[in-house]
Amino acid sequence: MSLHKNRCLLYNQVVMPYSDALIWQRTLLEERIKNPSLEDVLILLEHPPVYTLGQGGKSEFLKFDQTNSMYEVHRVERGGEVTYHCPGQLVGYPILNLQRYRKDLHWYLRQLEEVLIRTLKIYGLQGERNPGFTGVWLEGCKVAAIGIKVSRWITMHGFALNVCPDMSGFERIVPCGIADKPVGSLTQWIPDISLLEVRSGVAKCFAEVFDVELVIQTPVD
């Protein structure tokens, strides 16, 4: 018998196009709005290069013409400004029914930060919160961005942790709308860090912070 209060289905995907992951998340969300007893889900994956803007995100934070662009850009229903995803960045999408945890969005954001801070601690790195901003910072560099959407207390979207990505994509935006603070990746501190290893660390810390039993699922095609 599990000692944890809830089970959470874990999907460890490889690289998945952003639009496919978005459809998947929306489907999982709608299913759980219709049937709140369905189990929670955590998706861990990477995306091909893509820019995303939050619902109220300002186009001025893109340093290129969105109407005539070679770059894939999506405006989506999460909070927050513009961010960049690419291989080497670990993206996590928790689809959680917060009625099982706490119906408090600030609490939920702090819990996501805590998952990433604990993950960094595995490597002897001191992740920090920055008052007034959402995300996780390491020696003044933002290494993880967080943006969520919640409907009927069920979450979608989530977090992005820069493990070993090509950081040049961030030069074409003002990341998260913050012009005066640099973004960083874990390779700056641990050059040979493995994304596969970080995946398992994030999953372990997620299970601890949310007190769930992770149940590994077969990746979807």
d(CA 18, CA 11): 16
Is the distance from CB of 148 to CB of 162 less than 8 angstroms? no
- Token digits for 184? 């960083």
Map tokens 């993880």 to a residue.
144
Give dist(CA 147, CA 157) in Å, integer: 6
In sequence order, which residues have a C-beta less than 8 Å from that of residue 184 and are 6 or more positions away? Answer: 138, 139, 141, 142, 143, 162, 167
- Other CB atoms closer than 10 Å to residue 108's CB: what's the count? 21
Joined tokens for residue 142 = 């933002």
Query: Which candidate in 8, 86, 164, 176 is catalytic?
Result: 176
Per DSSP, 173 falls in state B
CA separation for the pair 70, 86 (Å, rounded): 15
Measured CA to CA, the distance from residue 105 to residue 120 in angstroms comes to 23
Residue 176 is among the residues annotated as catalytic for this protein: yes
Residues 62 and 51 sit within 8 Å (Cβ to Cβ): yes
Residues 61 and 81: beta-carbon distance below 8 Å? yes
Residues annotated as catalytic are 176
